[in-house]
Amino acid sequence: MPELPEVEVVVQHLNAHILGATIETLTIHRSDIVRIGHDLIPWFPQAKVTQIQRLGKCVVMTCQRSGQNRYILSELGMTGLWFYQASLAASPQHIHCQITLSGKKIKELHYWNPRRFGRLWLFEQSELDAFMQRRFGPDALTINQKEFCQLIQATRGQLKSFLLNQHRLAGIGNIYANEILFRAKIHPDAKGHHLRQISCQRLHQAMHDALREAIAAGGSSIRDFRRPDGSQGHFQKAHQVYQKDGKPCRHGCQTLIKRLQKERSSFFCPFCQKKY
């Protein structure tokens, strides 16, 4: 479930508590959790964590040793999280990586991912650059309005599918796609190239507002999401449309929210959210 706001919250937490720490050990409990870079595992002990950033819905730790950088990229997928203590994980048997640290109050990091839709990638610089170019479009939180509107108006498919496509726009998943489209009053099945400029601009503003508000609220803890210290986010309390089918529209029209049952359910107001 972790989407851009939840991953950003994790990154902020890790920056506050482990940035500058030294990795003492990196232990992989399940070999298939590492997609690329098994041969780099022995390099990480005694490396210092010098940067932690978000790329789309991934957490990237920059580690430095002897003037060289290597990277630990974690895809959180649907259920992936980082915890400071193994006891914080709902099912400790699904902790697939453990990192012990020195130099900071936090002494351990545990990568928990019961459904394993996410993986770990251990990269050198050139490999990380190639991965970024191959996997991520512009970031949903930082893309400017002009570039966003150009992408939307060049999209001939359904708008919600565009928002979910990490190659086109990085960071958004099903929860926030629903919330953003509802705020912008645009139907999930609307075609991007049919939207007027003013609608594209409204969508861009709705996207940035929803993402920033969610980050400020600590993300959405609907199922598994927790911050590394085990605490929950609170933005689920502010959801206006996600999983609200059968409830009155929050825009005030009193139409009941409907659910479109597809591969990923869409929640929308038939009256307020137009296709064009």
Q: For residue 14, give the 3-state DSSP assignment.
A: helix
Of 6, 8, 54, 57, catalytic: 57
Contact partners, residue 220, CB within 8 Å, separation at least 6: 1, 3, 5, 6, 175, 214, 233, 235, 236, 239
Amino acid at 210: A
User: 217-221: which pairs have CB atoms within 8 A and are 24 or more residues apart?
Assistant: 218/9, 219/2, 219/5, 219/6, 219/8, 219/9, 220/1, 220/3, 220/5, 220/6, 220/175
Q: For residue 59, give the 3-state DSSP assignment.
A: strand
Of 48, 191, 259, 264, catalytic: 264
Of 3, 6, 8, 179, catalytic: 3
CB atoms within 10 A of CB 4: 24
Residue 264 among the catalytic residues? yes
Residue 57 among the catalytic residues? yes
- Which residues carry out catalysis? 2-3, 57, 264
